[in-house]
């Protein structure tokens, strides 16, 4: 393990982190470690890192929306080529 000292943390950021730690029932240090791990793409809970985590999220999303039928090519071309001023 490595110790990291972070200086000049914004007061609002520190307050929000303390609130999240308290809500989860963990220490401020643990909440900071979790936030850093989430930021860099590692997760202690999943055991996955980087690409594995991204593919797992994509797979979960695919499972959630189910099978998509049809070809969206024509719809995408219509949206892309639409000259209406509100777009």
How far is the C-alpha of 79 from the C-alpha of 43, rounded, in Å? 38
Q: 46 in a domain, yes or no?
A: yes
Q: 6 in a domain, yes or no?
A: no
Q: 4 in a domain, yes or no?
A: no
Q: 51 in a domain, yes or no?
A: yes
- C-alpha distances out from residue 41 to 6, 26, 35, 75, Å: 19, 21, 10, 34
Does 57 or 15 have the greater pLDDT score?
A: 15
Domain containing residue 27: 11-81
Which long-range contacts does 79-85 make (Cβ < 8 Å, 24+ apart)?
none
Count how many domains the chain has.
1
Q: 44 in a domain, yes or no?
A: yes
User: Around Cβ 31, how many Cβ atoms within 10 Å?
Assistant: 19
Q: 2 in a domain, yes or no?
A: no
Q: Which of 22-26, 31-35, 45-49, 50-54 has the lowest mean pLDDT?
A: 45-49
pTM comes to 0.49
Q: 3 in a domain, yes or no?
A: no
Q: 32 in a domain, yes or no?
A: yes
- pLDDT band of 49, cuts 50, 70, 90: low
């Amino acid at each position: 393990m490595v110790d990291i000292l972070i200086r000049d943390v914004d007061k609002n950021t520190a307050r929000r982190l303390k609130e999240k730690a308290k809500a989860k029932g963990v220490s401020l240090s643990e909440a900071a470690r979790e936030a850093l791990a989430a930021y860099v793409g590692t997760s202690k809970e999943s055991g996955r890192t980087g690409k594995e985590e991204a593919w797992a999220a994509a797979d979960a999303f695919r499972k959630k929306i189910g099978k998509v039928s049809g070809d969206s090519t024509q719809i995408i071309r219509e949206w892309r080529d639409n000259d209406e001023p509100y777009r």
